[in-house]
Amino acid sequence: MIAPEAIDHVGIAVADLDGAIARYTRWLGVAPFAREEVAADGIEAVLFQVGPNRVELLGSRRADSVVDRFLQRRGEGLHHLAYLVPDVAAALAAYRAEGATLIDEVPRRGAAGRLVAFVHPRSTGGVLVELCQSTAVGP
């Protein structure tokens, strides 16, 4: 049982990050509150607050990044669904107990220093699932 507290955010892959930021700023009526390059992954993430939730735009910064490969294969669109959970390690353990394929075997630091982990879509009915920990962790 993952028992999420909310949808944390929805990740959306975009081909032209700056163009998408302009459109989403217009649609959502707010400017993004964070823009972060994840150099190791070759991607850039931009976050908008939407009430209790967030929308995350994902752009590729290099050929063959995960976002680049997604865009090549499927085009722009919904990329992943992130749930807010009290304990990412416990949620991972629940997926592991049912034989799920985990992308992250242990929680890692994601955007804004939060603990996160991804579960492979082959174990979740085609949905790339991210688990985001709601409680703060030490520095």
What are the residues binding its own copies (CB under 8 A)?
1-7, 10, 12-14, 20, 23, 26-29, 50-53, 55, 74-81, 83-84, 94, 98, 121, 125-127
Closer residue to its own copies (CB): 33 or 39:
33
Closer residue to its own copies (CB): 34 or 39:
34
Residues 6+ apart with CB under 8 A from 100: 119, 120, 123, 124
- Euclidean distance between CA atoms 8 and 43, whole angstroms: 20
Closer residue to its own copies (CB): 39 or 86:
86
Burial of 90 (0-12, 13-18, 19+ CB in 10 A): middle
30 in Cβ contact with 49 (< 8 Å): yes
Could you tell me the smallest distance in angstroms from the CB atom of residue 64 to its own copies? 20
Could you tell me the smallest distance in angstroms from the CB atom of residue 56 to its own copies? 11
